[in-house]
Amino acid sequence: MIMNEIRYPTIKIEGKDTPWDPAHTRRVQEHPCFSENASHHFGRMHLAVAPKCNIQCNYCIRKFDCVNECRPGVTSQVLTPQEALARVDEVLEKLHYIKVTAVAGPGEPLFNEETFETFRLIKEKHPHMMLCISSNGLLLPDKIDLLEKLGVGNVTVTLNAVDPKIGAKIYEYVTYKGKKYTGLEAGEIMLDHQLRGIEEAVKRKMVVKVNTVFIPTINDHHVIEVAKAIKKIGVYIQNLMPLIPQYRFVHISSPTPVEMMNVQDDLSEVMRQMTHCRHCRSDAIGILGHDVQECFDKMEKEKEFSGLRGKPKLL
């Protein structure tokens, strides 16, 4: 037997056990959201370059950050791709523990061309930086080749239901290729694209996380079916997020922390669970729970004041 042989875990891709390679493994071991251990050592930065969204979730007030990933009620400043790159340069100069740059909003990253330009600029200048995206999944099958080309290795998809009838209760509407879908059709198109997008991402050795918003009376008895379905298609980890009652779901009470813990315990029998999510804003920078983006915002304002940089746009 070879001494110090590294044994990588395997993952089922199209029914075959496929071993993870070192790059694949790094996407978990150095990403603070995919590994709790990594969250103590490594940080991430979110770049708020994607303001538009292509769907309307019944729990989202669109003037704030996308609540599928981010802390509700917070509005991040939108950066241009060039401003985002300048921010990455500044941050990396000061914070050597930042390993990941992610686009998570404030809208749907795949619906904003600026997301791809931002990744292109970062890949060119900082080729070792891990790139990560958080998406509602609608455009994932269409954009997966581009994401692969750009070197995006970590993907989060918000998947709240694997039954289009339940999805129909969650999405007010979905717009795709200029057409607006509502009701069951909206639920069907979302589910079809989300599952196909995840499968394509797994095939390309991207590591996939699924965020599931736990919505009492809507999908509370169904989240276990979501866990079973994503386990089968090679998702690495699931992140159950409590509903924050807003918009059309304003009348639904949030689950209590105890309820969340109990459900997560049940889900963990089926699927690996993320239990250290901090519901960050779409411009968060730092170690999870110890964000420092305010320091960089302050520097930005000082530069603006001295005329060195254009004023960032507000949503």
Interacting residue ranges for ligand SF4, rule: CB under 6 A: 33, 44, 53, 55-57, 60, 62, 66-69, 107-108, 136, 239, 277-280, 288
Q: Which is nearer to ligand SF4, 48 or 263 (CB)?
A: 48
Shortest distance in whole angstroms from residue 304 CB to ligand SF4 = 27
Q: Which is nearer to ligand SF4, 112 or 239 (CB)?
A: 239
Task: Describe the chain by its helix, strand, coil percentages, rounded to 5.
Answer: 40, 20, 40
Shortest distance in whole angstroms from residue 97 CB to ligand SF4 = 15
Taking Cα atoms as reference points, which of 198, 30, 146 lies closest to residue 98? 30
Q: Are 271 and 227 in contact (CB under 8 A)?
A: yes
Q: Are 51 and 78 in contact (CB under 8 A)?
A: yes
Shortest distance in whole angstroms from residue 281 CB to ligand SF4 = 8
Q: How large is the C-alpha radius of gyration of the chain?
A: 19
Q: Which is nearer to ligand SF4, 53 or 198 (CB)?
A: 53
Q: Which is nearer to ligand SF4, 72 or 151 (CB)?
A: 72
Interacting residues of 181 by C-beta distance below 8 A, sequence separation 6+: 173, 174, 175, 189
Q: Which is nearer to ligand SF4, 53 or 162 (CB)?
A: 53
Shortest distance in whole angstroms from residue 36 CB to ligand SF4 = 10
Shortest distance in whole angstroms from residue 243 CB to ligand SF4 = 11
Exposed, middle or buried, 190 (CB in 10 Å: 0-12/13-18/19+)? Answer: buried
